[in-house]
Amino acid sequence: MGTPRRGRPAVTAPGRAGATHPGDHTAPAPDMVWVCRSATLPRAAYRFYRDVLLRFAQGGGPPERAALRRLAQRFDVGLEDMLARLAAQDLVQRDPASGAITAAYPFSGVPTPHRVALVPARADTPPTEVYAMCALDALGIPLMLGREAAITSADPLTGEVVRVHLRRAEAESVSQSAEAGLPGWHVAWEPAMVVVYARPEDDACDDGAMAALCRCPVTNFFATPAQASRWADRNGTPGDVVLTLAEALPRAERRFGGILDRLPADD
């Protein structure tokens, strides 16, 4: 495979409530809510989906069947139709045998190499640990939630541990947040040269395949750019990119920032 490209320059993230996708040429219909990429949902369906994401953050995993039924009743949607709609737009994935939610991007319902410990507001409360679908999703979880988090992953070639810590930047940390590529956040990481290998941002999965199969398996943290290049030789496709964290963080923000804010919280 050819040498992967460096990441694209950061661009301004889309707005919050009521945002439309920056790449879309037309806004969603008035009764629809843009979620991400090309996915749109009716308002009640969006509220259901938003609560599913929040349940991951609260409990560390997917909501149980009984909790899903209560959510469906609360938002007056049919549970099976709702889950099928979300799966059809690749917003969630389900186990074909049990029907359990196995993914609700950026969260994984099953263990992965990418662990995210969400730091609670109270010091006497333990962190909530969740799993992410890939390296970019791991970065996207704290950005989506607006929460401090500690990410632990591993270089898939060597097993070397990769750590990334994100928290809201204090006023005196403005220069550090700018260096990390994401104003408003302080980011620390180790090893010093850690990078993210990923498919191109605008790359679409072939034949409507789910991202969990065509994008997530190759989107990993690497301890060094050289390790990412070795990965590209074995697993890469034309156009793949190696992103510094200063490039990966804005991309994660564009993908997941504001997903919970498309409607007011009390809507």
Q: What is the pLDDT of residues 136-188, one digit of tens each?
A: 999 999 999 999 999 999 999 999 999 999 999 875 454 444 456 788 999 99
For 87-114, write each residue's pLDDT tens digit.
999 999 999 888 899 999 999 999 999 9
Question: Hey, what CATH class is 112-256 in?
Answer: alpha beta
What is the CATH code of the structural domain delimited by 32-108?
Answer: 1.10.10.10
Cα atoms in the 13 Å half-sphere on the side-chain side of 157:
19
pLDDT beyond 60 at 245: yes
What angle separates helix 79-88 from helix 65-75, to the nearest 10 degrees? 100
Look at residue 213 in the predicted model and tell me its pLDDT.
61
Q: What is the mean pLDDT of residues 116-133?
A: 92
Could you give the percent of the chain with pLDDT greater than 70?
81
* Averaged pLDDT for residues 60-89: 95
pLDDT category at 210 given cuts 50, 70, 90 is: low
pLDDT at 110: 94
Segment 38-61 shows an average pLDDT of 95
Per-residue pLDDT at 10: 27
pLDDT value of residue 31: 84
- At residue 3, the pLDDT reads 41
Find the mean pLDDT for residues 36-62: 95
Q: What's the pLDDT score for residue 152?
A: 98
> Can you read off the two tokens belonging to residue 250?
């804005």
Nearest by Cα to 82 from 96, 101, 98, 97: 101
pLDDT band at 202 (very low <50, low <70, confident <90, very high): confident
Percent of the residues in the chain that have a pLDDT greater than 90, as a whole number: 66
Q: Is the pLDDT of residue 54 over 70?
A: yes
Asked if 247 and 8 count as a contact pair (C-beta separation under 8 A), the reply is yes
| CA 54 to each of CA 98, 107, 132, 213, 261: distance values in angstroms, whole numbers, following the listed order | 22, 10, 14, 24, 12
Q: Is pLDDT of 241 > 50?
A: yes
Beta strands across the sheet bearing 107-108: 92-94, 101-104, 107-108, 128-132, 115-118, 149-154, 161-168, 185-190
Instruction: Work out the average pLDDT over 29-42.
Output: 88
- 212 SS3 class: helix
- Enumerate the domain spans of the chain: 32-108, 112-256
* Mean pLDDT of all residues in 35-46: 92
Mean pLDDT of the chain: 85
pTM of the model: 0.85
Question: What integer pLDDT is reported at residue 170 of this predicted model?
Answer: 73
